[in-house]
Amino acid sequence: MAAPAHDAATTAVEEVSASKGLSTRDSMALKSLRTNLGYVIDPNKDGPKPARFRTRTLLKTLRYVAIFIFWRLLRSIRYAIVGSIIAALAGTAIGTVASGVGFFIAPPGILAGAGVGLLWGLGKYSWRILAKRAREGKVEGADPREDERVDAGEESPPSPEPKLGSKVEVW
């Protein structure tokens, strides 16, 4: 099935070369260029492929390098867009009220990113520990009268133990 399409492409190239007055060498170069571009666009497609292994390898490498450069440029463009949005917000009233938010959204360097990550981790850990203590009823400082009794050495009335799965009001 690839052969008739190949023949049609060959005849089309010959017709173009004849109408434009191109030599046979020029028409073969045009045919080769067309084959190579088709291979760069989709190397897995059934159709004419470059005859030499070295040419196919070079074209595949060029394809992968072009794809890599495209995605790297797209990534840089996304960073530029996010940075411009943050800069635009920083220049408004929101930026005046929350001037340090940009630092946490997009830290300017490796150490700043590590510091923000460390703060986030400590906050998450602390929140988890405090929530666990609140669920278990081991919250110190929630009842000032109870704390005063304990400090004075007085016996406090026994508090009812919370049931499993029940919420404990800490305030």
3-state secondary structure 12-57: HHHHHHHHHCCCHHHHHHHHHHHHHHHHHHCCCCCCCCCCCHHHHH
Nearest to 50 by CA among 22, 23, 31: 31
What phi and psi values does residue 132 have, to the nearest 5 degrees?
-65, -45
Average pLDDT over residues 116-132: 87
Measured at the alpha carbon of residue 159, what is the angle toward residues 153 and 164, in degrees to the nearest 5? 135
Amino acid 170: pLDDT: 63
- Beta-carbon neighbour count of residue 106 at 10 Å? 15
User: Residues 40-72: pLDDT tens digits?
Assistant: 887 777 777 787 788 788 888 888 898 899 999
pTM exceeds 0.75 for this model:
no
Average pLDDT of 87-104?
71
Taking residues 106-126, report their average pLDDT.
86
Q: Output phi, psi for 62, to 5 deg.
A: -60, -40
Q: What is the mean pLDDT of the chain?
A: 75
pLDDT at residue 114 is higher than 50: yes
